[in-house]
A and B are shown apart, each in its own frame.
Chain A
Amino acid sequence: MMLIRIEPDSEIPIYLQLTHELIELMARGKLKDGDPLPSVRSFAADLGVNMHTVNKAYHELERKQFIQIIPKSGAIVSSISNDMAQFHHERITTALQPVIAEALVIGMSDREIKAVVSSIMKDLRGE
């Protein structure tokens, strides 16, 4: 099973939850380069959400080049180009900064922070 889980009542918008879940499937290696994503209509029907929500998630992923949308045939997972990898690198660093700052303020040690990161990575790699 290739599971996606959303929480419709969460504060995080559903389209963002969807992008997170799909990227996680890619990180886990369940969705690979070239794999097709479900059609917007059937995915929205399975989730019971508006088609715009799924569409928005797909466009968000396309903007970040995680997927490629081919008109009239659907979306497929795509590999990231070198330029884009550089851009993502900076983006991820910026996104992590406030989280790590928060960790330091509450008094987490270097080792604890590294332990959290490696446990998340272990989980994603299925170790």
Chain B
Amino acid sequence: MIHLLFIVIIGFIVIMQTSIPYLLKRTIAFGVSIPEGHTDDPSIASYKKIYAIVSSIVGIAGLIAYVSWMSGRSLSGEKVVLAGLFIQFSILFVSMALYLYFHAKVIQLKRAKQWGANLKQVRIVDLEARAKDEMLPSYLYIIPMLITIGLMIYTGTQYHLMPERIPTHWGPNGQPDAFTEKTPFSVIATLLIALIIQAMMLMINVFTKKSGIRIRATKRQTSQIQQLSFRKYTSWFLFLTTVLITTLFGFLQVTTIHAELENAMLMMAAPLVFLVIILLATAAYAFKVGQSGSRIEVQVEDDAITGITDFDDDRFWKFGVFYMNKNDPSIFVEKRFGIGWTINFGNPIGYLILFVPILLILAISFLV
């Protein structure tokens, strides 16, 4: 079981790493903004190709090594997990090294050829864009939280019926493999973690809605439709994740309270179904939407505008990956190499939203 889980995850990572250069918009290459007129540069196209080919070769080699190492042996689950994680991190590490190499190459190219030197840098805002934003309303994220709180209350009413040993960890087969004593705190610890994750998702939705709506200076209508689609589908994806997490945690809690409902088949299938849905949704999202919605087809033709290009904000992007701009009130901004949101490290609220929940979850895990 665990073998299959890891093979699926590694296979997924390989596919994503290989296709990433083709899911990104043309105005940014390897974390470097590309001025108008150079977005179809053949050197950049060849860098993307090399990145994809090397990523796929390394990934497939890693996958083959993993499968052949496991086949015909009876290995402990722990070894399979460790080796699986090792392969995953190795693949990601190689991708990161490749990224940094090409990031430096593109910076060099842009500087040597003085791209954009004779273009005026502008930033365009449409005052009507906010009214067209279709991200999900934040109150929707309260519903999963209410479900979790309801389950906590229900757990309280069932306290005397619960077993003396409360599961705190579940193995890949869906069976609990670590337990703790029954206390009023330990019986709701799992739900508390769920609640913290749900609160974090709520905050992400609240603050991503407030983040800047950026449009491309020379493709105003097209880029706006794509940007608004990106925002909409990303908020759907976030909500789907929240629903899945709520379902999984709720399921674990209900089976803990009612041992008679425990069903080995169902327990085993739950995490797998969870994983498969998440991976399929991620792939559908990445390939349908793409960075800034660049893969969404738009039937609008923008008038040709020359002499201008988007404001070059490379100076705020460390290594083309970490955004640090104290002036920008956006707490989340769109990723430059990847699809989705990343935080503005120049704004302390972003740190709070991501790190406070992680610290709280760690604290709960240690206390239980």
Contact A3 B325 (CB under 8 A): no
Task: Confirm or deny: B280 has a beta carbon within 8 angstroms of a beta carbon on chain A.
Answer: no
Sorting the interface of chain A by its residue count into under 10, 10 to 19, 20 to 34 or 35 or more gives 20 to 34
Q: Are A4 and B127 in contact (CB under 8 A)?
A: yes
CA of A37 to CA of B128, assembled, Å: 10
Does A105 sit within 8 A of B, measured CB to CB? Answer: no
Closest Cβ of chain B: how far from A105's Cβ, in Å?
28
Cβ of B120 within 8 Å of any chain A Cβ, yes or no, is: yes
Contact yes or no, B212 A45, CB < 8 A: yes
Q: Which of A6, A7, A25, A46 gathers most chain B CB within 10 Å?
A: A46
A45 pairs with B330, CB closer than 8 A: yes
Q: Specify which chain A residues have a CB less than 8 angstroms from the CB of B214 in the assembled complex.
A: 46, 48
Q: Tell me, rounded to whole Å, the shortest Cβ–Cβ distance linking B9 to chain A.
A: 35
Q: Is the CB of A48 within 8 A of B330?
A: yes
A49 to B326, CA, bound (A): 9
Contact of A5 with B123 at beta-carbon distance under 8 Å, contacts A38-B130, A42-B130, A46-B129 already known: yes
Q: Does A119 contact B (CB under 8 A)?
A: no
Q: Please tell me if the beta carbons of B327 and A50 are within 8 angstroms of each other in the complex.
A: yes
Q: Which residues of the partner chain A approach B128 to less than 8 Å between Cβ atoms? A: 1-2
Q: Does A74 contact B (CB under 8 A)?
A: no
Whether the Cβ atoms of A2 and B126 lie closer than 8 Å is yes
Assuming the A-B contacts A8-B311, A48-B325, A50-B327, are A3 and B125 also in contact, with contact meaning beta carbons closer than 8 angstroms in the complex?
yes
Q: 1/0 contact trace for B305-325 toward A, CB 8 Å?
A: 000000101000000000001
Query: Cα distance A3–B129 when bound, in Å?
Result: 10
Q: Contact check: which of B217, B224, B311, B329 meets A45 at CB < 8 Å? A: B329
Q: Are B127 and A41 in contact (CB under 8 A)?
A: no
A80 to B94: give the CA distance in the assembly, Å: 63
- Interface flags for B79-120 (1: CB within 8 Å of A; 0: not) read 000000000000000000000000000000000000000001
CA distance A1 to B129 in the complex (A): 8
**Would you list which residues of chain A between 62 and 106 have a CB under 8 Å from chain B?**
none
Residues of A within 8 A of B329 (CB): 41, 44-45, 50-51
Residues of chain A in range 29-49 having any CB-CB distance to chain B below 8 Å: 31, 37-38, 41-49
Q: How distant is B216 from chain A, measured CB to nearest CB, in Å? A: 12
Interface membership of A9, Cβ < 8 A: yes
Return chain B residues, CB-CB under 8 Å to A45. 210-212, 328-330
B210 touches A48 (CB 8 A): no
Q: Which residue of B lies closest to A21 (CB)?
A: B125
In the complex, residue of chain B having the shortest beta-carbon distance to the beta carbon of A52: B327
A7 touches B328 (CB 8 A): no
A4 with B313: CB separation less than 8 A? no
Shortest beta-carbon distance, A15 to chain B, in Å? Answer: 13
- Among residues of B, the one whose C-beta sits closest to the C-beta of A4 is B125
Binding site for A on B (CB under 8 A): 120-130, 210-214, 217, 220-221, 224, 311, 313, 325, 327-330
- Residue pairs across A and B with Cβ atoms less than 8 A apart, 13 shown, are A2-B127, A3-B125, A6-B122, A25-B127, A44-B328, A45-B210, A45-B212, A45-B329, A46-B212, A46-B213, A46-B214, A48-B325, A51-B329
Known A2-B126, A4-B126, A7-B120; further 17 A-B contacts with Cβ < 8 A: A1-B126, A3-B125, A5-B123, A7-B123, A38-B130, A41-B210, A42-B210, A44-B328, A45-B211, A45-B212, A45-B330, A47-B212, A48-B212, A48-B313, A48-B325, A48-B328, A50-B329
Q: Which 8 A-B pairs have the closest CB atoms?
A: A45-B212, A50-B327, A2-B127, A46-B125, A45-B330, A46-B212, A4-B125, A1-B126
